[in-house]
Structure formats: C-alpha cells, structure tokens
Amino acid sequence: MNIIDRYLLKRFFLTFFVSILCFVLIFDLVNLVERIGNLLESGATFADVFMYYLYFTPFIIVLTCPIATLLASIFSIGLMAKSNELLAMKAAGVSLYRIVATLVAGGILIAIGLWMFGEMILPEANSRKNIIEAEKFQRRSSESATVYRNQMFQGLRGRVFQFTNYVSKSATGEDVVIQTFEGNKLKQLITANRFVWQDTIWVGSEVQVRDFGDFESDPEPIKNTKYPTLPFPDFREKPTYFEDWFSRQDPLSMDYFKLKKFIQVSRALGKDVTTQLVDLENKVAFPFINVIIILIGVSLASNPRRSGLGISFAVSMAVSFAFYTCVKIAIEFGHEGAISPLLAAWGTNAVFLLFGLILLFKTPK
C-alpha cells in the first residue's frame, strides 16, 4: 500500500465513521422524540431507555451503512476534485480506475465487517431490544412476553413436537403432540395436556401414548396407553432448545446459519419457507451493496463542477432513496413468491452494479 492509497483510505474511512455516528444520533433522537410520551406513560427508567437504544444501535448501523459508504466516497473524492487534488493525481499518472480500486478494497472491508457484525452482534442485540420493548415499555409480564403459540419443533431421534402454547419462563407446554418417525413411518404418537421440565427431565400429565407396529404382520398394530403422569427421561431436548428456536424466528434475531437451520426444519415440517429464503439470501446480498455503491459515488463526485458539499449530499440522498426503494420492492415481491429469492435479494445489487459501471466508463479518466 503506497502513500496515495493510505491517503485515500484515511479520508474515506474518516468520512464513513463520522457519517455512521451522525446517523446513529439522528435515528435515536428522532425515535426518542416520537416515543417520548409513551415512554413516560410506561414508567420506564432512564436505564431502560438507555439500554433499549444501545441495543437499537446495531440495527441502525446495518441499515445506514450503504448510505454512509456512498457519502464517504462522494465527499472524499468530491473534495479532492474541488481542490484539484484529483487532477494532480491524474497528472502524476494515477488513473481514476486506480483510485476506484483502492476505495473498492475499502468497500470490501466494510462489506465483510458488516456481514460479521450482522452475524455476531445484531441478532442478540435485536432480541434484547425486543425483550425491553415488551417487558419495560409495554409492561407485559415476563410470562406473557414469552408465550409462543402454535409452534412446531423438530427434535432429536425423529421426534417432532407441536405446542398449542409454550411458556419459556416456566418451560411448560400445553396441548402437546409429539410424533416419532423412523424414516417416513410414524412409529409413536404422544399427546399430553401439559408437558413440563422438572429438574432435568420432561414430565407429561394426562398423557396418551400410541405405538404403531407393522400393520401387515402384527395382530395388534396400534397399542394405546394412558398415564395420569409420565416422565420422559430419554428426551434430551432441553428447554433452551425450544426457547431459542421459538424466540428467534424473526430473521433479524437469527444469524445466517441459524436461519438456514430454521429453513431446513421448517421444510421438514411442511411449512412454506419462501419468506425465509429471501431473508437468507439478503443477509449476504445486502452487505455487498457497500462495494457496488462506491462505483456510483466515485463516478458522480469526480467531476469538480458537481462536487460541492450541498450537491454531493443531495445526490447521495437521491441515490440512497432509489436504492432502498428498489430493495424494499424486490424483497416484498420475493416474500410474495412473485420472483425467486435469489433475484429478490441480488437483483437490486445487479441493477446498481450495471448503473455504476456505466457511470464509471463515461467518467473522464
């Protein structure tokens, strides 16, 4: 990395981080002003509000990162064009393509960092934000905040659990159906009025067990047994398995691999996973718009006649609005099944990549 690369990246990342900081402050402030009345009525403490917006911050960073990248590319190159630094670089034999390559490398670092941030920080932060929202602001009890209704879960050894209600705090299931399969054959069907975790095992009440044998050779292929209570020491599915699964069905609260596992299990249970497939593809596609958006920013800012601060900001907002509109429309079409998940997630990137390359080729080198 030579001195020009370091100079370009220093200006680029300085503008990028200042933009992110400004967006976080603006978004938090606007959201706080909109909700101040409800927050006061809820009786939330200063600590509750502070922690809520602390956990809200990762979502703002992920959402506004492409805008910050665009602003960083336009402002850093625009100011260089305005002060004739860009012209001096070209006169010294540094082409616009060389400048673009340096900033694209910076964009790749941002994209990788944003993807890792979205995998390691965002899911947990979003889950905690939702808990504070439910328990502190809406004043729902811990019990009511963690009641999951009509849920299914694929357990171990071919077991499929279906809960009419599941209360995670007390690890209690109501109106539970447990099916056990060997291959494609149903071998056992268990129904229980209640299914409770006691110490280290599950215990069912008002349990009915149906065992299915070979209908061709077994004279009594169905064995039906009822129990007032029945422990299940062989069930190794802990309450945390169920809670983690039920509470993280929001794509923002799941990382890429958990969402992928959720899709696999949902498919096995016969559920429609179109929406989740779109969200899975978008988890990879969205960060890499930060690379593509640099092509547009550099192309627009390299002309000194249109590189004023006001014009640069207006252009950035216009491009950002167009980008987010296209993303929203494509994702909605994908969720409805009108287009494939791959096209829904990557289509906007492809369009803006083409637009950026066209602008770059038409820009004086």
Q: Encoding tokens for residue 86? A: 């860009």
Q: What are 198-213's pLDDT values in tens digits?
A: 988 999 999 999 988 8
365 has a pLDDT exceeding 80: no
Closest C-alpha among 50, 250, 265, 208 to residue 137? 50
- The pTM (predicted TM-score) of the whole model is 0.71
In this predicted model, which residue has the larger pLDDT, 302 or 283? 283
Residues sharing a CB contact under 8 Å with residue 354, sequence separation 6 or more, in sequence order: none
Please give the torsion angle defined by the CA atoms of residues 272, 273, 274 and 276, in that order, rounded to the nearest 10 degrees. Answer: 150
Task: Answer for the pair 347, 333: CB distance below 8 angstroms, yes or no.
Answer: no
- Residue-wise pLDDT for 24-34, tens only, equals 999 999 999 98
Q: Across the chain, what does the average pLDDT equal? A: 84
Q: What is the pLDDT of residues 212-234, one digit of tens each?
A: 887 777 777 888 899 999 999 98
Among residues 155, 120, 317, 170, the alpha carbon closest in space to that of 237 is found at 155
CB atoms within 10 A of CB 127: 17
CA-to-CA separations, 314 to 11, 15, 301, 321, in angstroms, rounded: 20, 16, 12, 11
- What is the structure's pLDDT at 244? 65
What value does the CA radius of gyration of the chain take, rounded to a whole number of Å?
27
Q: How do the domains of the chain map onto residue ranges?
A: 3-135+276-362, 156-236
